[in-house]
Amino acid sequence: MMACFFTPTPSQAVRLDTAKGRPVANEQRAEISGLERLEGQHYERSYGSAVEVRTGPCLRYNCHGMSFAARRTRIIDNDAIRAILDDDGYDRVGVDKVLPGDVVLYISSAGDIEHSAIVVTPPSRETYNMPKVYSKWGKWKEVIHSANVCPYEPCDLRYYRVRG
Amino acid sequence: MSTVTWPLHGLLVDYLFANTPSYLMKKFRANDAVIELARDTPSVELASFVEAVDRDPSPDMHEVVAAYAAVVALTLQASQQSAEVLHNLRGENLTWIPHIVSLWRQSRVVGTSFDTRLPIKPLEQRQIRGAADSMETRACKPFRRDDFRYHAPDSVPTVIVRKDFD
Protein backbone atom coordinates (compact mmCIF):
# COMPACT_ATOMS: atom_id res chain seq x y z
CA MET A 1 0.00 0.00 0.00
CA MET A 2 1.20 3.44 -0.84
CA ALA A 3 2.45 5.38 2.14
CA CYS A 4 0.19 8.38 2.25
CA PHE A 5 0.26 9.35 5.87
CA PHE A 6 1.42 12.66 7.06
CA THR A 7 2.37 13.09 10.65
CA PRO A 8 1.94 16.69 11.62
CA THR A 9 4.54 16.66 14.31
CA PRO A 10 4.11 19.69 16.53
CA SER A 11 5.62 22.57 14.68
CA GLN A 12 9.22 23.10 15.68
CA ALA A 13 11.21 26.25 15.28
CA VAL A 14 14.90 27.00 15.32
CA ARG A 15 16.60 29.98 16.87
CA LEU A 16 16.71 32.51 14.06
CA ASP A 17 17.49 36.20 14.38
CA THR A 18 17.98 39.05 11.95
CA ALA A 19 21.41 40.66 11.73
CA LYS A 20 20.25 43.13 14.37
CA GLY A 21 19.11 40.39 16.74
CA ARG A 22 15.38 40.52 16.17
CA PRO A 23 13.86 37.04 16.42
CA VAL A 24 12.41 35.65 13.20
CA ALA A 25 9.27 33.50 13.46
CA ASN A 26 9.79 30.18 11.69
CA GLU A 27 8.60 26.58 11.64
CA GLN A 28 10.07 23.25 10.65
CA ARG A 29 8.46 20.13 9.31
CA ALA A 30 10.31 16.93 8.74
CA GLU A 31 8.18 14.64 6.61
CA ILE A 32 6.61 14.65 3.22
CA SER A 33 3.86 12.18 2.43
CA GLY A 34 3.84 9.72 -0.42
CA LEU A 35 0.71 11.35 -1.75
CA GLU A 36 2.34 14.78 -1.81
CA ARG A 37 5.29 13.23 -3.61
CA LEU A 38 3.00 11.79 -6.28
CA GLU A 39 1.08 15.03 -6.73
CA GLY A 40 4.31 16.99 -6.94
CA GLN A 41 5.80 14.68 -9.55
CA HIS A 42 2.63 14.90 -11.62
CA TYR A 43 2.65 18.68 -11.44
CA GLU A 44 6.37 18.94 -12.11
CA ARG A 45 5.98 16.86 -15.26
CA SER A 46 3.47 19.39 -16.57
CA TYR A 47 6.32 21.90 -16.83
CA GLY A 48 8.36 19.56 -19.01
CA SER A 49 11.89 20.77 -19.68
CA ALA A 50 11.07 24.32 -18.58
CA VAL A 51 12.27 23.52 -15.09
CA GLU A 52 15.52 21.92 -13.99
CA VAL A 53 15.44 20.12 -10.68
CA ARG A 54 18.22 20.90 -8.18
CA THR A 55 17.17 18.88 -5.11
CA GLY A 56 14.63 16.38 -3.86
CA PRO A 57 11.51 17.45 -1.99
CA CYS A 58 12.06 18.68 1.55
CA LEU A 59 9.58 19.86 4.13
CA ARG A 60 12.15 21.46 6.41
CA TYR A 61 12.44 24.72 4.50
CA ASN A 62 10.43 26.74 2.03
CA CYS A 63 11.43 29.37 -0.51
CA HIS A 64 11.95 32.08 2.11
CA GLY A 65 13.89 29.63 4.27
CA MET A 66 16.12 28.97 1.27
CA SER A 67 16.58 32.65 0.43
CA PHE A 68 16.97 34.01 3.96
CA ALA A 69 17.64 31.20 6.43
CA ALA A 70 20.25 28.95 4.84
CA ARG A 71 17.72 26.16 4.17
CA ARG A 72 17.29 25.47 7.89
CA THR A 73 13.62 26.28 8.38
CA ARG A 74 10.43 27.70 6.91
CA ILE A 75 9.59 31.40 7.12
CA ILE A 76 5.93 32.02 6.38
CA ASP A 77 5.35 35.47 7.77
CA ASN A 78 5.60 38.59 5.60
CA ASP A 79 6.59 40.74 8.57
CA ALA A 80 9.50 38.41 9.29
CA ILE A 81 10.76 38.82 5.72
CA ARG A 82 10.44 42.59 5.93
CA ALA A 83 12.37 42.53 9.21
CA ILE A 84 15.17 40.54 7.54
CA LEU A 85 15.27 42.94 4.57
CA ASP A 86 15.56 45.89 6.96
CA ASP A 87 17.92 44.46 9.55
CA ASP A 88 20.19 42.57 7.16
CA GLY A 89 20.65 45.66 5.02
CA TYR A 90 18.98 44.67 1.77
CA ASP A 91 18.56 47.38 -0.84
CA ARG A 92 16.03 47.27 -3.62
CA VAL A 93 17.68 46.93 -7.04
CA GLY A 94 16.24 48.19 -10.31
CA VAL A 95 15.46 45.61 -12.95
CA ASP A 96 18.28 46.94 -15.15
CA LYS A 97 20.84 46.55 -12.35
CA VAL A 98 20.08 42.96 -11.32
CA LEU A 99 23.04 40.60 -10.91
CA PRO A 100 23.31 36.87 -10.32
CA GLY A 101 22.80 36.15 -6.62
CA ASP A 102 20.24 38.88 -6.03
CA VAL A 103 17.05 37.90 -4.25
CA VAL A 104 13.77 38.30 -6.10
CA LEU A 105 10.49 38.57 -4.21
CA TYR A 106 7.16 37.71 -5.80
CA ILE A 107 4.55 40.10 -4.47
CA SER A 108 1.01 38.93 -5.08
CA SER A 109 -1.80 41.27 -6.02
CA ALA A 110 -2.93 41.06 -2.39
CA GLY A 111 0.50 42.22 -1.20
CA ASP A 112 1.64 38.84 0.08
CA ILE A 113 5.29 37.92 -0.41
CA GLU A 114 4.21 34.59 -1.79
CA HIS A 115 7.54 33.45 -3.16
CA SER A 116 11.24 34.27 -3.24
CA ALA A 117 14.08 33.10 -5.45
CA ILE A 118 17.77 33.67 -6.20
CA VAL A 119 18.72 35.14 -9.56
CA VAL A 120 20.88 32.94 -11.80
CA THR A 121 20.71 34.99 -15.00
CA PRO A 122 19.59 38.62 -14.84
CA PRO A 123 16.55 39.77 -16.80
CA SER A 124 17.16 41.03 -20.30
CA ARG A 125 15.27 42.14 -23.37
CA GLU A 126 15.80 38.73 -24.90
CA THR A 127 14.00 37.10 -21.96
CA TYR A 128 11.25 39.72 -21.83
CA ASN A 129 12.66 41.05 -18.57
CA MET A 130 12.30 37.67 -16.87
CA PRO A 131 15.37 36.43 -15.00
CA LYS A 132 16.33 32.81 -14.67
CA VAL A 133 16.19 31.90 -11.00
CA TYR A 134 16.39 29.00 -8.63
CA SER A 135 13.81 28.64 -5.93
CA LYS A 136 12.13 26.21 -3.55
CA TRP A 137 8.51 25.46 -4.39
CA GLY A 138 6.83 25.17 -1.02
CA LYS A 139 7.39 21.69 0.39
CA TRP A 140 8.55 20.50 -3.01
CA LYS A 141 11.96 20.75 -4.66
CA GLU A 142 14.47 23.43 -5.51
CA VAL A 143 14.23 24.08 -9.21
CA ILE A 144 15.90 26.31 -11.77
CA HIS A 145 13.35 28.09 -13.91
CA SER A 146 12.43 31.27 -15.66
CA ALA A 147 10.84 33.58 -13.08
CA ASN A 148 7.48 33.36 -14.83
CA VAL A 149 7.45 29.57 -15.12
CA CYS A 150 6.26 28.53 -11.68
CA PRO A 151 3.07 28.26 -9.59
CA TYR A 152 3.45 31.82 -8.25
CA GLU A 153 2.32 35.23 -9.52
CA PRO A 154 5.24 36.84 -11.39
CA CYS A 155 3.41 40.13 -12.03
CA ASP A 156 5.29 42.11 -9.36
CA LEU A 157 8.90 41.00 -9.05
CA ARG A 158 11.12 43.01 -6.72
CA TYR A 159 14.88 42.56 -6.58
CA TYR A 160 17.06 42.96 -3.50
CA ARG A 161 20.78 42.83 -2.75
CA VAL A 162 22.62 43.03 0.55
CA ARG A 163 24.33 46.38 0.91
CA GLY A 164 28.08 46.05 0.74
CA MET B 1 -13.39 10.82 11.54
CA SER B 2 -15.48 12.31 8.76
CA THR B 3 -15.08 10.91 5.29
CA VAL B 4 -13.71 13.23 2.64
CA THR B 5 -15.70 12.73 -0.52
CA TRP B 6 -15.07 15.81 -2.59
CA PRO B 7 -12.29 16.28 -5.17
CA LEU B 8 -8.97 17.34 -3.70
CA HIS B 9 -6.67 17.08 -6.68
CA GLY B 10 -5.98 20.78 -7.26
CA LEU B 11 -6.00 21.45 -3.54
CA LEU B 12 -3.22 18.97 -2.86
CA VAL B 13 -0.95 20.67 -5.37
CA ASP B 14 -1.74 24.10 -3.94
CA TYR B 15 -1.03 22.80 -0.45
CA LEU B 16 2.24 21.28 -1.59
CA PHE B 17 3.51 24.49 -3.22
CA ALA B 18 2.23 26.93 -0.61
CA ASN B 19 5.03 28.97 0.92
CA THR B 20 2.69 31.13 2.95
CA PRO B 21 -0.80 30.78 4.47
CA SER B 22 -1.88 33.73 2.32
CA TYR B 23 -1.01 31.80 -0.85
CA LEU B 24 -2.89 28.74 0.41
CA MET B 25 -5.92 30.84 1.24
CA LYS B 26 -5.87 32.60 -2.13
CA LYS B 27 -5.65 29.34 -4.06
CA PHE B 28 -8.25 27.53 -1.97
CA ARG B 29 -10.72 30.40 -2.15
CA ALA B 30 -10.52 30.25 -5.94
CA ASN B 31 -11.13 26.50 -6.03
CA ASP B 32 -14.61 25.38 -7.12
CA ALA B 33 -14.62 22.49 -4.65
CA VAL B 34 -14.04 24.89 -1.75
CA ILE B 35 -16.68 27.30 -3.02
CA GLU B 36 -19.17 24.43 -3.24
CA LEU B 37 -18.17 23.25 0.20
CA ALA B 38 -18.84 26.72 1.59
CA ARG B 39 -22.20 26.89 -0.18
CA ASP B 40 -23.46 23.43 0.69
CA THR B 41 -22.08 22.61 4.13
CA PRO B 42 -23.27 24.14 7.39
CA SER B 43 -20.62 25.95 9.43
CA VAL B 44 -21.05 23.61 12.35
CA GLU B 45 -20.30 20.57 10.22
CA LEU B 46 -17.22 22.17 8.73
CA ALA B 47 -16.02 23.17 12.18
CA SER B 48 -16.51 19.73 13.68
CA PHE B 49 -14.54 18.19 10.80
CA VAL B 50 -11.69 20.68 11.25
CA GLU B 51 -11.59 20.13 14.98
CA ALA B 52 -11.53 16.34 14.57
CA VAL B 53 -8.58 16.49 12.15
CA ASP B 54 -6.81 19.06 14.28
CA ARG B 55 -7.05 16.82 17.34
CA ASP B 56 -5.87 13.72 15.49
CA PRO B 57 -2.12 13.18 16.00
CA SER B 58 -1.75 11.30 12.70
CA PRO B 59 -4.40 12.34 10.22
CA ASP B 60 -4.50 11.11 6.66
CA MET B 61 -2.98 13.46 4.11
CA HIS B 62 -6.40 13.92 2.47
CA GLU B 63 -7.86 14.96 5.77
CA VAL B 64 -5.20 17.58 6.42
CA VAL B 65 -5.83 19.23 3.07
CA ALA B 66 -9.59 18.84 3.48
CA ALA B 67 -9.43 20.43 6.92
CA TYR B 68 -7.61 23.47 5.55
CA ALA B 69 -10.15 23.59 2.73
CA ALA B 70 -12.93 23.53 5.32
CA VAL B 71 -11.32 26.42 7.20
CA VAL B 72 -11.10 28.44 3.99
CA ALA B 73 -14.69 27.48 3.17
CA LEU B 74 -15.71 28.92 6.53
CA THR B 75 -14.00 32.18 5.58
CA LEU B 76 -16.15 32.25 2.45
CA GLN B 77 -19.37 31.86 4.38
CA ALA B 78 -20.57 35.28 5.33
CA SER B 79 -22.65 34.38 8.33
CA GLN B 80 -22.59 35.15 12.01
CA GLN B 81 -22.35 31.44 12.73
CA SER B 82 -19.26 30.91 10.55
CA ALA B 83 -17.64 33.95 12.14
CA GLU B 84 -18.19 32.52 15.61
CA VAL B 85 -16.87 29.15 14.50
CA LEU B 86 -13.72 30.72 13.03
CA HIS B 87 -13.09 32.69 16.21
CA ASN B 88 -13.14 29.45 18.18
CA LEU B 89 -10.83 27.35 15.98
CA ARG B 90 -7.61 26.46 17.76
CA GLY B 91 -5.11 25.04 15.28
CA GLU B 92 -3.13 22.80 17.60
CA ASN B 93 -1.71 20.44 15.01
CA LEU B 94 -2.82 22.26 11.89
CA THR B 95 -0.58 25.22 12.58
CA TRP B 96 -1.69 27.39 9.67
CA ILE B 97 -5.25 27.67 10.98
CA PRO B 98 -4.49 30.70 13.20
CA HIS B 99 -2.75 32.38 10.24
CA ILE B 100 -5.74 31.77 7.96
CA VAL B 101 -8.17 33.03 10.58
CA SER B 102 -5.99 36.09 11.10
CA LEU B 103 -5.93 36.78 7.34
CA TRP B 104 -9.70 36.39 7.23
CA ARG B 105 -10.07 38.90 10.08
CA GLN B 106 -7.85 41.40 8.29
CA SER B 107 -9.69 41.01 5.02
CA ARG B 108 -13.18 41.44 6.41
CA VAL B 109 -14.79 44.52 5.04
CA VAL B 110 -16.44 46.50 7.73
CA GLY B 111 -19.29 48.28 6.03
CA THR B 112 -19.60 51.71 7.56
CA SER B 113 -22.29 54.14 6.67
CA PHE B 114 -22.63 57.68 7.86
CA ASP B 115 -25.91 59.50 8.16
CA THR B 116 -24.87 63.10 7.97
CA ARG B 117 -28.25 64.74 8.14
CA LEU B 118 -27.66 67.94 9.99
CA PRO B 119 -30.36 69.30 12.22
CA ILE B 120 -32.08 72.22 10.58
CA LYS B 121 -32.26 75.16 12.86
CA PRO B 122 -34.58 77.94 11.76
CA LEU B 123 -32.87 81.28 11.49
CA GLU B 124 -34.02 83.97 13.81
CA GLN B 125 -35.00 87.33 12.50
CA ARG B 126 -31.91 89.02 13.96
CA GLN B 127 -29.62 86.52 12.21
CA ILE B 128 -31.28 87.30 8.88
CA ARG B 129 -30.77 90.96 9.57
CA GLY B 130 -27.17 90.29 10.53
CA ALA B 131 -26.57 88.37 7.32
CA ALA B 132 -28.04 91.19 5.30
CA ASP B 133 -25.79 93.68 7.09
CA SER B 134 -22.81 91.45 6.44
CA MET B 135 -23.62 91.33 2.74
CA GLU B 136 -23.75 95.06 2.66
CA THR B 137 -20.42 95.28 4.47
CA ARG B 138 -18.80 92.81 2.06
CA ALA B 139 -20.02 94.76 -0.86
CA CYS B 140 -17.84 97.65 0.17
CA LYS B 141 -14.72 95.86 1.38
CA PRO B 142 -12.62 93.02 -0.05
CA PHE B 143 -13.22 89.48 1.10
CA ARG B 144 -10.95 88.14 3.75
CA ARG B 145 -10.00 84.52 4.14
CA ASP B 146 -11.78 84.49 7.45
CA ASP B 147 -15.07 85.22 5.73
CA PHE B 148 -15.07 81.70 4.35
CA ARG B 149 -14.16 79.94 7.54
CA TYR B 150 -16.58 77.16 8.41
CA HIS B 151 -18.49 77.67 11.60
CA ALA B 152 -19.67 74.48 13.22
CA PRO B 153 -23.37 74.31 14.03
CA ASP B 154 -24.45 74.55 17.65
CA SER B 155 -25.34 70.89 17.94
CA VAL B 156 -23.28 67.91 16.89
CA PRO B 157 -24.51 66.35 13.65
CA THR B 158 -26.21 63.01 13.95
CA VAL B 159 -23.76 60.29 12.91
CA ILE B 160 -24.92 56.72 12.78
CA VAL B 161 -22.17 54.16 12.38
CA ARG B 162 -23.36 50.78 11.35
CA LYS B 163 -20.95 47.86 11.28
CA ASP B 164 -22.05 45.14 8.92
CA PHE B 165 -19.91 42.34 10.16
CA ASP B 166 -21.58 39.52 8.30
pLDDT in tens, A55-68: 988 889 999 999 99
pLDDT of A40 reads 78
> Distance from B81 to chain A by nearest Cα, in Å?
26
Q: Answer whether residue B3 shows pLDDT above 60.
A: no
Residues of A in contact with B9 (CB under 8 A): 39
pLDDT of A1 reads 31
pLDDT of A43 reads 79
Q: Is A89 or B95 the better-scoring residue by pLDDT?
A: A89
Q: Answer whether residue B139 shows pLDDT above 70.
A: no
What pairing do the DSSP bridges indicate for beta strands A51-53 and A132-136?
A: unpaired
pLDDT of A11 reads 62
Judged by DSSP in three states, B84 sits in helix
Gap between the terminal Cα atoms of chain B: 30
pLDDT tens by residue, A92-125? 999 999 999 999 999 999 899 999 999 999 999 9
Q: Answer whether residue A164 shows pLDDT above 90.
A: no
pLDDT tens by residue, B36-57? 999 999 999 999 999 999 988 7
Would you call A5 and B62 a contact, using CB atoms and an 8 Å cutoff? no
pLDDT of B151 reads 45
pLDDT of A133 reads 98
Q: Which residue of A has its CA nearest to B95?
A: A11
Q: Is the CB of residue B14 less than 8 Å from the CB of residue B24?
A: yes
Report for B61-65, B132-136, B159-163: range of highest mean pLDDT: B61-65
Q: Is the CB of residue A75 less than 8 Å from the CB of residue A24?
A: yes
Q: Which residue of A has its CA nearest to B22?
A: A112
Opening angle at CA B20, ends A151 and A160, nearest 5: 80
Would you call B61 and A35 a contact, using CB atoms and an 8 Å cutoff? yes
Cα–Cα distance measured from residue B10 to residue B92, given in angstroms and rounded to the nearest whole number: 25
Confidence bin at B160 (pLDDT 50/70/90):
very low
Confidence bin at B112 (pLDDT 50/70/90):
low
Q: Is A54 or A42 the better-scoring residue by pLDDT?
A: A54
Q: Answer whether residue B95 shows pLDDT above 50.
A: yes
pLDDT of B150 reads 43
Q: Answer whether residue B130 shows pLDDT above 90.
A: no
Would you call B61 and A137 a contact, using CB atoms and an 8 Å cutoff? no
Confidence bin at A49 (pLDDT 50/70/90):
confident
pTM for this entry: 0.75
Residues of A in contact with B94 (CB under 8 A): 8
Q: Is A116 or B134 the better-scoring residue by pLDDT?
A: A116
Cα–Cα distance measured from residue A121 to residue B160, given in angstroms and rounded to the nearest whole number: 58
Choice among A50-59, A136-145, B87-96, B133-142 with the minimum mean pLDDT: B133-142
Does any CB of chain A come closer than 8 Å to the CB of residue B62?
yes
Choice among A56-65, A82-91, A151-160, B147-156 with the minimum mean pLDDT: B147-156
* A:B CB pairs within 8 Å: 89
Q: Answer whether residue B86 shows pLDDT above 90.
A: yes
Q: Shortest CB distance from B19 goes to which of A40, A43, A114?
A: A114
Task: Please give the order of strands across the beta sheet that includes A103-107.
Answer: A51-53, A142-146, A132-136, A113-121, A103-107, A157-162, A90-93
- Given phi > 0 = left and psi -120 to 50 = alpha, else beta, which region is B62? alpha
Q: Shortest CB distance from B19 goes to which of A5, A43, A63?
A: A63
> Distance from B23 to chain A by nearest Cα, in Å?
6
Q: What length does chain B have?
A: 166
pLDDT of A148 reads 95
pLDDT of B145 reads 46
pLDDT of A12 reads 82
Distances in Å between the Cα of B115 and the Cα atoms of A48, A83, B157, B162 are 59, 42, 9, 10
Distances in Å between the Cα of A14 and the Cα atoms of A20, A87, B63 are 17, 19, 27
